[in-house]
Amino acid sequence: MKTVEQAAREYAETKTVSEAGYILNSRNAFKAGAEFAQQWMSIKEQLPDCSPYLAKDKQGKIELFYIGEESFIKAIDITHWRRIEVK
């Protein structure tokens, strides 16, 4: 699997505009989007608002949950959650 840095570099290099500033901005924008998509949200700050979602407990174990299963958050000590897109 590619790192975010590798994917950003490849994305930026596919642009036909030769201005170095444009390529750098494309790379930074790609990285920012990838990093945003990988964010874990604290259960203390916001409860899951999508379904399905990934949930992580204090030990780092990750499981798939659906809206309506919030009782599990307290039962298994969930600390963070993350949106996922299922196609």
Q: What is the pLDDT of residues 26-84, one digit of tens each?
A: 777 777 777 777 788 898 888 887 788 888 988 989 888 887 766 666 667 889 988 88
> What pLDDT, on the 0 to 100 scale, is given for residue 46?
84
> What pLDDT, on the 0 to 100 scale, is given for residue 3?
65
Number of H helices, E strands in the chain: 3, 4
Sign of CA dihedral 71, 74, 76, 82: positive
CB atoms under 10 Å from CB of 53, counted, come to: 19
Amino acid present at 8 = A
Residue 9 has pLDDT above 60, yes or no: yes
